[in-house]
Amino acid sequence: MSFKTRVIAVDNGTLPFGGMQVDTPIFAVDDSFLDATDSQPDGVKDLSWPNKLAFVIDNVLSTQESKRLIALTEQLGFQDAAPGIQTPPGMRQNTTVHWLACASDVERIFGRIAKLLPAQIEGRRLMDTLSHRFNTYRYTKGQQFRPHIDGDWPGYGLDKSGEGMDVWTEGLSMLSMLLYLNGSEEGVVGGETLLFDGQNIRHRVEPKAGRALFFRHGLHTESVMHAGDILQSEHPKYVARVNVMYAY
């Protein structure tokens, strides 16, 4: 299956071990990768501990949807440079492609999980959509993402003309959504997401197709330090970061 895609914007992209690539593309995808019928998430598995917010929702995507999403990102093409992302040399050790999903897909994914998300965080209400920007990462054997805290972001979508990328002026992200596209059933070994309580590992979240891990991010005491553990298998691991938006 081939997807209709186009470059919608460019940005400076940081490289895994230092340096920068100018005009790193951000794509728009006009075709849907979702099934005709919606999957049914399994509810919330709470991973929170005092002053830290984290939880898992399984079956956000079906196995077939996850496979199509992998095919889509491979069609877009993974590269070393991450557009608009600032990471110290050696922290992010993977390849990446950033893109805007079609609005109908974002609406349907949000509809599957909306009732399972916190309706408010610190008095800010959950917005009625996710950011349309999917930051997708591919890990190969030996690669990892060293411990870090995710930054908060504005939302992104297509502008009114459909020809450019719009940076939303309403709201800011408060949760990261790590959407795993494959796992042990597809041959992935290692690559768990590690959640840290101080210097200690509090949880190990295994990659699984359609599973989504959520945690608090930004410069805040409740934000969760985390890492992508070293991938041990020859089979790549695929994961997408999507931002969950809350109104100002």
Please state the rounded mean pLDDT for residues 209-229.
Answer: 96
Tokens of 106: 């974002």
pLDDT at 241: 98
Please state the rounded mean pLDDT for residues 169-187.
Answer: 97
Please state the rounded mean pLDDT for residues 46-70.
Answer: 98
Average per-residue pLDDT in the chain? 97
Tokens of 203: 């949880």
CA gap 194, 149 in Å, rounded: 12
Predicted TM-score (pTM) of this structure: 0.97
Asked if residue 231 lies in contact with residue 95, where contact means CB atoms within 8 angstroms, the answer is: no
pLDDT in tens, 199-211: 999 999 999 999 9
Tokens of 73: 């990102």
Query: For residue 71, how many other CB atoms are within 10 A of its CB?
Result: 14
Beta bridge partners of 168: none
Number of helical H runs and strand E runs in the chain: 2, 18
Asked if residue 67 lies in contact with residue 185, where contact means CB atoms within 8 angstroms, the answer is: no
pLDDT at 11: 98
CATH at 131 = 2.60.120.620
Please state the rounded mean pLDDT for residues 39-64.
Answer: 96
* Structural domain of 199: 5-246
Contacting residues for 92 by C-beta, under 8 A, at least 6 apart: 14, 16, 82, 85, 145, 146
Asked if residue 187 lies in contact with residue 181, where contact means CB atoms within 8 angstroms, the answer is: no
Instruction: Answer yes or no: is pLDDT of 1 > 90.
Output: no
Tokens of 129: 């959509």
pLDDT at 31: 97
Amino acid residing at 220: H
pLDDT at 118: 98
Percent of the chain with pLDDT strictly greater than 90: 97
Please state the rounded mean pLDDT for residues 106-121.
Answer: 98
pLDDT at 101: 98
Indicate the pLDDT class of residue 53, thresholds 50, 70 and 90: very high
Token look-up 């110290």 returns: 88
Indicate the pLDDT class of residue 248, thresholds 50, 70 and 90: confident
Burial class for 12, CB neighbours closer than 10 Å (0-12, 13-18, 19+): middle
The DSSP call for residue 184 is G
Burial class for 200, CB neighbours closer than 10 Å (0-12, 13-18, 19+): exposed
Tally of domains in the chain? 1
pLDDT in tens, 79-110: 999 999 999 999 999 999 999 999 999 999 99
Please state the rounded mean pLDDT for residues 177-187.
Answer: 98
